[in-house]
A and B are shown apart, each in its own frame.
Chain A
């Protein structure tokens, strides 16, 4: 597939019409709102709005859906930063640094950086999508069960980076997460495990309600404990764009994360949540100040937000060129294409190459729309953090329960949220990190089902795991990343111990 410059310019011209730009903006606004509301994900947003596109021209409807997709990926960060509730699973890693920043009164700085990082990642993802689709899509097909297992193991090696101060407690959280992943249907034999005869448990712990429970509801309980004391966070709200110093500080991470995000997005089945966690882990590993992570390090925030947005561009690559969706959102988009009478895949490139380029162009413009609309919204959104906690906390609680219910209109999910909320609260009280549970919930099923699948194919022979170069590379990377992360962790501990000693000496004097 030769790159066609002329076609690219004409396609930008086609997209630069009032009606298409309007559709992109409508989509982006809807996307940001949907993304920011916990329980409504990018996938749902696109799915719910697909029927609205039935009667419209292909470019009009697809550009609106692109807007929703990109907008929702950023929108998830808003609630992640302000109320510790990842609006979409892809923003789960954003909570780790975003919320501590907001608590410190830097909500504006965090939001500006999240927006800029999303924009940066989105642009890089869209660029890679435009120029390197054929190359990347050939790699995507190489991923079979063995490779997915390798990827899941590599992803799990990030656990050390998100474990907080105690490795043992991090590991305990992670293994607990892996354990609860085993509830529900066995992925290969179909046998229901640990369901206690409850139909709702047959598909394992519902992901979004668990996420909302662990992060938002546990924080609500935590806040309730403190209500009474003057508890208003004063935030400086004068930023639309991150400062030049912040951009320079994070620039290396932005570049790295946008590439990691695009590549992970292009692998079918691995979406923004995995991309964000892996980028975050890599950022911490490469950082000069890893001890600042977990306490509101802007670099970590930039890494995760950048990765989940570049992931969208990446996920479009296999969808358009192979007809294979790269993540859950693009799986729904596939349906939207089919309704338009378009079948994504190699034939789309042959028969509708102009539309393919127009999709590239609308994806790129959606990033700009997101940046501008996001800037207009920052002041509005960031004010949330300054609302009196006695009002904000119950509101978050209600929002959490509604969000859990909204996913599939089932009260069981609300109970599930409350259960994980209480569990999360108890774990926080005793300094057990929550993020490893989440990572295990994302990657556990992927690791298990693909390992089992590989073993079905090989007839139970484990040597299949070492027979494929990509899988072996990923597993070697996992070991390296693990060893380096442990050594990094020891360094951080040493540094912190030194600081504490100094602090004690100073206070004693």
Chain B
């Protein structure tokens, strides 16, 4: 009996010795955040700005690691397969929902543990400032009257903006030519130079050229008007019911202990609310739209269904 208590207390003691720091002191070493996109790009800059704030609340260094390639597939896979101890967090982006329908990755968002949504940027249909149309309807009518003339640039084949443009064209029943570029920036440049007729990328990506009066936005594909350009009506206001966003959020690999997850979430949520981060987002014209884990998971589910359906209609999905 005595021996058993001794053994038990010894067990409890050792368990306490090992377990206590693991629970109480998480995180006891630097946390890694995987970014599936290149250093210096929009996603990376956002993640670094947010992580810099989160460090203060987490009490540990947060290292941003860029694991790029395969149109985001490599980074997302690295997040999914990371050790689920809370020391690896990842940034997930829209491509997590567009890669699976194309049959390019063997996983979906359901293989991740969504943490929070950070931002969602709607697509905006943008044309040259001197174009003969100034509404979405006008543009579509012009496209109908001049078949084969309208070219819409996007950031890559099967990318979020390709799907957005395809969706808008499909809803209005016009045929346009989609011209994929190597990123949104070159597409916008080509539009300014008059090599294509329109782009359907985010407001942030066309902002400077619109402010310089080289380009004009015909409509945004969101439920509300844009904060920077409140004069631009939404697609819905113009009678074309299209809403399309890109989004970014944080996720963990499946199986992270709840206590650790809560700590990470808490640090990032506080970071999200700091004045510095909010100011940064305003400067970078990012449309912040926080969602907690449960809401984010619901959003991901709906978004995945929508994206898969559109991609199937556009012929981008794997049959």
Contacts and interface: CB of A to CB of B under 8 A. Distances in A.
Contact of B283 (A186, A206, A338): A338
Contacts of B70: 199-200, 202-203
Contacts of B181: 453
Contacts of A47: 38-40, 44
A345 B66 contact: no
Given A51-B48, A143-B193, A456-B151, A325 B185 contact: yes
A206 B186 contact: no
Contacts of B41: 335
A322 interface: yes
A335 B211 contact: no
Contacts of A322: 189, 192
A118 B155 CA distance: 34
Nearest to B39: A47
B265 interface: no
B173 interface: no
Nearest to B68: A408
Given A202-B73, A409-B67, A457-B151, A190 B180 contact: yes
Given A141-B193, A190-B102, A343 B151 contact: no
Interface in B192-239: 192-196, 207-209, 211-212, 214
A54 B73 CA distance: 29
A311 B140 CA distance: 42
Contacts of B207: 343
B71 interface: yes
B82 interface: no
Contact of A409 (B66, B190, B209): B66
Contact of B212 (A43, A332, A346, A410): A346
Interface residues of A, number: 52
Interface string A176-193: 000000000111111010
Contact of A203 (B69, B179, B186, B193): B69
B180 A188 contact: yes
A298 to B, nearest CB: 35
A399 interface: no
B105 interface: yes
A427 interface: no
B263 interface: no
A379 interface: no
B69 A54 contact: no
A50 B45 contact: yes
A202 B104 contact: yes
Nearest to B182: A449
B105 A199 contact: yes
B83 interface: no
Given A46-B40, A325-B185, A187 B180 contact: yes
Contacts of B186: 268-269
Nearest to B42: A335
B151 A142 contact: no
Interface string A337-361: 0111101111100000000000000
A324 B49 contact: no
B157 A188 contact: yes
A206 B180 contact: no
B208 A344 contact: yes
Given A200-B70, A346-B214, A457-B195, A44 B185 contact: no
B156 interface: yes
A187 B214 contact: no
A398 B166 CA distance: 48
Contacts of A269: 182, 186
Interface in B257-289: 280, 283-284
A272 interface: no
B254 interface: no
Nearest to B38: A47
A156 to B, nearest CB: 19
A48 B64 CA distance: 10
A341 B192 contact: no
A187 B159 CA distance: 12
Contact of B77 (A141, A199, A345, A449): A199
A141 B190 CA distance: 7
Contacts of A187: 157, 180, 182
B177 interface: yes
A51 B283 CA distance: 15
A44 B3 CA distance: 62
Interface in B55-94: 65-71, 73-74, 77
A323 B177 contact: no
Nearest to B192: A141
A144 interface: yes
A331 interface: yes
A144 B69 contact: no
B40 A332 contact: yes
Contacts of B195: 144-145, 457
A18 interface: no
The 7 A-B pairs at the shortest CB distance, nearest first, are namely A190-B157, A144-B195, A47-B40, A332-B40, A47-B39, A141-B193, A346-B212
29 contacts: A47-B39, A51-B48, A51-B49, A54-B52, A54-B280, A141-B192, A142-B193, A144-B193, A144-B195, A145-B195, A186-B157, A188-B180, A192-B104, A199-B69, A199-B73, A200-B70, A202-B73, A269-B182, A323-B209, A332-B39, A335-B41, A335-B42, A339-B284, A341-B283, A343-B211, A344-B208, A345-B209, A346-B214, A410-B67
Given A46-B40, A203-B69, 4 more contacts: A202-B69, A345-B211, A408-B66, A456-B151
